[in-house]
Amino acid sequence: GIQVEQSPPDLILQEGANSTLRCNFSDSVNNLQWFHQNPWGQLINLFYIPSGTKQNGRLSATTVATERYSLLYISSSQTTDSGVYFCAVEGRSSSASKIIFGSGTRLSIRP
């Protein structure tokens, strides 16, 4: 089945810093999403981005489907940005018609 790899696995930054999180996938996808898991375990939808670029405040995301990767940018980090960021993809082939998650990037923002 489709493989999803996220990097880096862990990232520690000072408040105000910028960061880039990466998601690589091994096959063609119908869609790709980014989520933020807060300390209580809730998964918050950030972006639904099968291709192109989207922005929402300090966060933006770019997916280059032909090269099989997506990037999540966080600018001017705040302590509330801490948590785990997951990307999830839906494979395009019939044998991969389910949504698979990467292993996540754990982001810690220090005050």
Partner 1 sequence: DGGITQSPKYLFRKEGQNVTLSCEQNLNHDAMYWYRQDPGQGLRLIYYSQIVNDFQKGDIAEGYSVSREKKESFPLTVTSAQKNPTAFYLCASSPPLGAGELFFGEGSRLTVL
Residue 111, Cβ density class (10 Å: 0-12 exposed, 13-18 middle, ≥19 buried): exposed
| 31 counts as binding partner 1 under rule CB under 8 A | yes
Q: Which of 11, 21, 33, 36 binds partner 1 (CB under 8 A)?
A: 33
DSSP the chain: ---EEEE-SEEEEETT--EEEEEEESS-EEEEEEEEE-TTS-EEEEEE-SSEEEEETTEEEEEEGGGTEEEEEE-S--GGG-EEEEEEEEESSGGG-SEEE---EEEEEE-
Least Cβ distance, residue 83 to partner 1 (angstroms): 13
* Of residues 45 and 66, the one with the C-beta less far from partner 1: 45
Stretch that binds partner 1, among 13-21, 41-49, 58-66, 71-79 (CB under 8 A): 41-49
* CB closer to partner 1 out of 14 and 94: 94
103 contributes a contact to partner 1 by CB under 8 A: yes
Is residue 45 close enough to count as binding partner 1 by CB under 8 A? yes
In the complex, least distance from residue 35 CB atom to partner 1, rounded to whole angstroms? 8
